[in-house]
Amino acid sequence: MLSIKGLSFAYPRQPVHLDGLTLEVARGDVLGLLGPNGAGKTTLVSLIAGLLKPAAGSIQLAGEPAALGRRELALVPQEYAFYPRLTGRENLDYFAAVCHSNSQTRRAAVERAIEETGLGELQTQIAGHYSGGFKRRLNVAIALLQAPELLILDEPTANVDPQSRAFLLDVVRRLNQSGVTIIYTSHLLDEVEALCRSVAVMDRGRILLQGDMKTLLAEQHCLRLGLAAALPESLTGRTGVMALGDAVSGVQEWQFDLAQLGMSAAQLLTQLDQSGIAPVQIHYGQRRLESVFMAALARENERL
Amino acid sequence: MSRLTASVFKESLLLVRDWHGLLVLFVMPALFVLIMSLALQGQFAKAGGGQLRGWLSGEQLIVENTQAEAFVNVLRAQPELELRLALPDSPLSTADRLVEIRILSRFDQVLAGESDVRSGVELRFAPELGMRERALIEAVVQRSFADLNTTLIAQELGFDRDYAQRELLKTGFIQMVDSGDSNTDASADASTATRPNSVQQNVSAWLIFGMFFIAIPFSTTVIQERQQKTLMRLQTCGMPLGQIYLGKLLPYMVINLLQLGLMLAIGAWLLPLAGAQALSLNVSFAALALISISTSCAALGWASLVAACSRTIEQATVASGASCIIFAALGGIMVPRFVMPPLMQDLSLLSPMAWALEGFLTVLVRAGSCTSVALNSLLLIALGALLATAAIFISRWKQNHD
């Protein structure tokens, strides 16, 4: 669906922003595009959309060079990219008129977008008065008007309540099931891990890592434990021991690289048992995306 | 519905729902017109078509059937002067009576050559009165005296007053010609006919100011859309930047024309209720439409450039507001051009507001036609097109550089 080869770009009088970037996104895939702030994700998206012109390299979208106004591509920016003084319906009608010249197609596209995103009851209300969750839904709905083959979502669930977040993720899944290829950028790695089938990690304008999610997360030496108590001193700070995220309801998740620790899963569990600690969650043979992401960035920092 | 029609409809909805913006665009210039037209009525009367007011006094009672009495009658017939009889040394000020014309008791003797002293009349001015007004009053008094004296010489030679006027004073030798069909009030004499009165000047001036003030709400919406990535979204839907701008500009041009209607209505119907002169609408509406649309083009071009060059709403607000005030100060909006010194009058032509004001005054004051305002209109449209094109280029350039 999307093939990027040797892509380079730099803003004038600034250091190189993208440096020979190569990325492949298969049709029907859901790709999680990860990277710290300033990694070049937004620049990459702008280049794919044709808003910027690359200094070198090529971008092929559905077999054709990427250009501004390609109907196959729709963007959902992180910002609320609509008119807050218009109602949801008026926004959709306007963007539909921009995308489609035929009035029947336009009406059908608006109805479909409203149905897909559950905006029905609120469509006649001023969009600026929507809750954060419904603003996000409208943001996505506008992108759906184009009936895109490739949908790029930039932090689509930022600052929304859990209910709206779950709904939006469902919308994305349904779209993907209907054949839409998705590129999903987010700093919420749990969300990406749950949603995406493949992942690409980028930093400083380069792709550090790209692959199938299951393959990247598979790790036979990896044991993840949820602990309600503090880790014994004998394990704290050792190589191969890593805290994942913050504690939730008093439970902290830990990842243990058994190869690095030089012990088996049984030995580790025994040691914890002797310290009076009983794990409340056990996952074996699979890393968390967060550890993959952090490891990729750490390797890049070491390389530099 | 085409993209452009949809954009115009969308922008119109946004404008109608922006009450604060509409208040600024309509109420502010309306208040300026009301306040300035009423406040400056007297000033425009003095500088423009009004009479110069003064006291007429005598050292002694003016005796009937004397040359002094004949001189008083000639003076009181002068259209430039509005004289009221008073006692000597009555108070003078530029706000009321500018001059005292005092007939000396020796007037008849001096005229008959029976006195060693040459002066028969004294002029006493308000201290703050300008040189121009002093010279004008002196010239009118001198002309009145010449009229009287020439008539006396003619009578001595056995001719009547008509002969004196025709052959000695050569009345009519200098012909006063207006630059067009004057649309000034009937009391204005020929020499001041091409100058606007307070209402004509202020309606035109503050209308233009209001039209250019559109840069603030326009640039604000463009920057908001840029920051919110709405512009980016429209571009990725295949809408060219030029079409996006055009869809925004057209509704704002309609706002400019509504401003015109409101300001004309205030001048024609509201200001007379407050005691000001009524704005005559017996003008060429085609010429008025031409200069209004041209001014709107220049204002919107400027608004587009401000929007393209500013990064934040704060920057755009300061740039729009400050540039409007500078254009207005320079272009004869705040201070009429005709009271500026020659150098400033030349400099004022740097402001597009001056081009617009000249066009409006040509229509409203001098009953100008489309041909009369063609040059000013062309300049304004060319400027607007140039600025809008520059705005689009700058927007594209910034997209690739920021």
Residues of B with CB below 8 A from A95's CB? Answer: 233-234, 237
Q: From residue A207, how far is each of A2, B207, B217 by CA, in Å?
A: 15, 58, 43
Nearest chain B Cα to A13, which residue?
B401
Contact B237 A103 (CB under 8 A): no
Residue B356: name the closest of B203, B246, B197, B191 by CA.
Answer: B203
pLDDT bracket for residue A112 (50, 70, 90): very high
Contact B238 A71 (CB under 8 A): yes
Q: Is B8's Cβ below 8 Å from some Cβ in A?
A: no
Minimal Cβ distance to A83: which of B2, B6, B230: B230
Minimal Cβ distance to B1: which of A11, A86, A97: A97
- Give A1's DSSP letter: -
* B 14-43 → A contacts, CB under 8 A: 14, 17-18
Nearest 5 degrees, angle CA A162-CA A166-CA A172? 145
Residues A116 and A92: their CA atoms lie apart, in Å, by: 13
- β-bridge pairing A150-154 and A181-185: parallel
Nearest 5 degrees, angle CA B330-CA B336-CA B337? 65
Q: How many CB pairs under 8 A join A and B?
A: 83
Can you tell me which residue has the tokens 């493949």? Answer: A198
The shortest C-alpha distance from B218 to chain A (Å) reads 15
Question: Mind listing the pLDDT tens digit for each residue in A258-278?
Answer: 888 888 888 899 989 988 888
Check if the beta carbon of residue A2 is closer than 8 Å to that of residue A61.
yes
Please name the residues in contact with B320: beta carbons below 8 A apart, sequence gap of 6 or more: B213, B215, B216, B219, B303, B306
Across chain B, which has 402 residues, the per-10-residue mean pLDDT values are 90 91 89 86 59 84 81 89 88 81 90 86 87 89 90 85 79 68 43 64 92 93 93 91 91 95 93 86 93 97 95 94 94 84 87 95 89 95 96 87 68
Whole-number average pLDDT of chain A: 89
H/E segment holding residue A253? strand A251-257
Residue A15 or B126, more confident: B126
Residue A93: name the closest of A75, A69, A114 by CA.
Answer: A114
pLDDT for the residue B185: 42
Can you tell me which residue has the tokens 């503050």? Answer: B206
Q: With 70 as the cut, is the pLDDT of residue A79 above it?
A: yes
Nearest chain A Cα to B3, which residue?
A98
Q: Is A146's Cβ below 8 Å from some Cβ in B?
A: yes
The token duo for B148 is 């009287």
pLDDT bracket for residue A160 (50, 70, 90): confident
Residue A71 or A84, more confident: A84
pLDDT for the residue B177: 67
Q: From residue A141, how far is each of A65, A87, A145, B13, B41 by CA, in Å?
A: 26, 13, 7, 21, 59
The shortest C-alpha distance from A68 to chain B (Å) reads 6
pLDDT for the residue A261: 87
Please name the residues in contact with A103: beta carbons below 8 A apart, sequence gap of 6 or more: B1
pTM: 0.74
Q: For the sheet containing B121-125, what is the strand order? A: B81-85, B52-58, B99-103, B121-125
Check if the beta carbon of residue A137 is closer than 8 Å to that of residue A95.
no
Residue A262: left if φ>0, alpha if ψ -120 to 50, beta else—which one?
A: left
Interface predicted TM-score of the whole assembly (ipTM), two decimals? 0.81
Q: From residue A86, how far is each of A83, A98, A110, A138, B92 by CA, in Å?
A: 6, 16, 15, 12, 63
Residues B215 and B224: their CA atoms lie apart, in Å, by: 14
- Which of A11, A45, A83, A140 is the best residue to mutate to test the B interface, defined by the most B CB atoms within 10 Å of its own CB? A83
Residues of A with CB below 8 A from B247's CB? Answer: none
Cα torsion B336, B339, B344, B349: sign: positive
pLDDT for the residue B367: 84
